[in-house]
């Protein structure tokens, strides 16, 4: 049976994740409540505003539901999603996160929108060409990585993709490009 991949649809570019999943013939389900989360086999937390997504998730109990879900089930976070997954956010205005992935991130670490950029980096996707066009929008930086966490993607010297057990985190937006390989990797490596 086709797996059901949830896309957290509280705020942000969730429709682009759903479209990317469609392109690789996967079933993307928009998730706005904990009931909708229950029927999913995996979840993607999209880009958007981490503060906003967090508040909306706390509002209807989805926050704790995702925290539990992420203990075992596959979870991918991009940009704001990465911030929410991180155990530690190293800035003065930091708020409580899901604290699932053993990394520390710094929000908007490259600077405001004027410093947003596109660059080709490298991701170890197990096979084929490692080059990947990476779109960074007011992006966070991964500033510390726990012992069990694997670094699998780099842009210049920065770590930009990490994985640990059932968790995959990226500081850029694969959903903003036509390249579907990271979503395919998530499905192949985490769902099967």
Q: Contact positions toward another protein, by CB under 8 A?
A: 9-16, 32, 47-49, 51-52, 55-56, 59, 79-80, 91, 93, 107-108, 111-114, 116-118, 135-138, 173, 176
Distance CA 147, CA 118 (A): 29
CB 43 within 8 A of CB 49: no
| Nearest to another protein of 142, 149 (CB atom) | 142
H-helix or E-strand spanning residue 153: strand 150-155
Residue among 60 and 126 whose Cβ is closer to another protein: 60
The nearer residue to another protein, 64 or 118, going by C-beta atoms, is 118
Question: Which residues does the annotation mark as catalytic?
Answer: 79, 173, 175
Buried-exposed string 167-190: b where 16+ CB fall within 10 A, e elsewhere: bbbbbbbbbbbeebbbbbbbbeeb
Smallest gap from Cβ 8 to another protein, in A, equals: 10
- Looking only at the bridges linking them, the beta strands covering 75-78 and 167-170 are parallel
- Cβ 19 to another protein, closest distance in Å? 11
Whether the CB-CB separation of 138 and 46 falls below 8 Å is answered with no
> Residue 167: which residues within 8 A CB-CB, separation 6 or more?
70, 74, 75, 76, 77, 85, 100, 101
Task: Name the minimum Å distance from CB 80 to another protein.
Answer: 7
Residues 24, 5: Cα–Cα separation, whole Å: 12
Q: Which is nearer to another protein, 55 or 165 (CB)?
A: 55
CB of 12 to another protein, least distance (A): 6
């Amino acid at each position: 049976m086709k797996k059901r991949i949830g896309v957290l649809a509280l705020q942000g570019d969730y429709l682009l994740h759903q479209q990317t999943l469609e392109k690789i013939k996967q079933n993307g389900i928009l998730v706005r409540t904990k009931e909708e989360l229950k029927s999913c086999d995996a979840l993607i937390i999209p880009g958007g505003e981490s503060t906003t997504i967090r508040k909306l998730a706390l509002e209807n109990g989805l926050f704790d539901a995702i925290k539990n879900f992420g203990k075992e089930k596959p979870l991918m976070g991009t940009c704001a999603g990465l911030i929410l997954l991180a155990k530690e956010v190293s800035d003065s205005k930091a708020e409580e996160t899901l604290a699932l992935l053993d990394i520390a991130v710094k929000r908007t670490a490259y600077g405001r929108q004027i410093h947003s950029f596109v660059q080709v980096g490298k991701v170890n996707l197990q096979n084929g060409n490692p080059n990947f066009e990476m779109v960074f929008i007011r992006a966070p930086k991964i500033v510390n990585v726990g012992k069990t966490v694997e670094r699998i993607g780099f842009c210049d010297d920065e770590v930009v993709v990490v994985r640990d057990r059932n968790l995959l985190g990226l500081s850029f937006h694969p959903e903003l490009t036509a390249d579907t390989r990271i979503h395919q990797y998530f499905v192949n490596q985490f769902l099967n």
